[in-house]
Amino acid sequence: MEDHWDYKASFLFKTKAFAWAVFAWVAFNALTGLFTGNYALVDNYFFLVVFLLVAAFKSSYRVTYKNGMVATYQLGMVTNSINLYETTNVEIGKKRITIHYPGDTRFVIKCWRLPKKHHQLIISSIKALEGKRPENAQSPIAVVELKHEAESVGRMISGGLLGLGIGIVALFTGTLYLPRGEILSASDPGNTFVYYVTACLVGGAIFVVYGLLRKRSMPNK
């Protein structure tokens, strides 16, 4: 049995969640249309966004296990931190695992949201453990936080390199392409072109340097 794992909501669950969001939107529009006589979907985009946000929230479900600790996440935030050494009982259901703590406290692992092929490993890992959890054992929360930190640093460095690249290309070509199709040229009157290129170069350099410094300060695990 593996001593650690990290699983996110399955692709099948995400597909079903977003499919139900669209279905709920169409059904809501049909229901309101019975009273208003207006069946135009374009009038109910606000509710589509709400249903999609709910689906995104459900699809962000994640469970990690390491050293007798189980952690659940939603939108990248810890929702439960469960020490299996303090568990009194574990109930295995068809779609969920219910973990009992002293004082009638319960935690539910929503297995139906996780990849089905890993259910057996999840079930075999989540059980009441005897003794006391080692004090120096790293928790899954620390592992995920370190992973998030690495991903954030990677995006920062990549964004900085992109800014530098845009600025350098603009210097050589004398043209800078902005969002929404706007184009700045070095021959345009005023210093707008210079300001934008300087912002790309300086901003990109700051992001790269800061990202590299953060990367050096991270533990190498």
pLDDT along the chain (221 residues), means of 10: 80 94 86 69 70 90 88 83 88 90 88 92 87 63 60 79 87 78 79 85 87 67 44
Task: Give this prediction's pTM.
Answer: 0.60
- For residue 75, give both structure tokens: 């939108």
Do 52 and 40 contact (CB within 8 A), yes or no? Answer: no
| Count of positions (residues) in the chain | 221
Q: Spell out the long-range contacts of 46-55 with Cβ–Cβ below 8 A and sequence spacing 24 or more.
A: 48/21, 48/22, 51/21, 51/22, 51/24, 51/25, 52/18, 52/21, 54/21, 55/14, 55/17, 55/18, 55/20, 55/21
Q: What is the pLDDT at residue 44? A: 63
Q: Which of 63, 144, 54 is nearest to 107 (CA)?
A: 63
Q: Two tokens at 118?
A: 């890993």
Quote the pLDDT of residue 221: 44
- Distance between CA atoms of residues 174 and 170, nearest Å: 5
pLDDT number for residue 81: 84
Residue 13: name the closest of 150, 149, 118 by CA.
118
**Pick from 73, 75, 48: which is nearest to 63 by CA?**
73
Beta strands in the chain (DSSP E): 4-8, 62-66, 69-74, 77-83, 89-92, 97-101, 105-109, 175-177, 183-185
Domains along the sequence of the chain with CATH: 4-125 (2.30.29), 140-217 (no CATH)
The residues pairing with 100 across neighbouring beta strands, listed in sequence order, are 89, 106
Please report, for residues 36, 130, 140, the alpha-carbon distance to residue 74 in angstroms, rounded to integers and kept in the order given: 37, 29, 15
Query: Given this model, what pLDDT does residue 36 score?
Result: 65
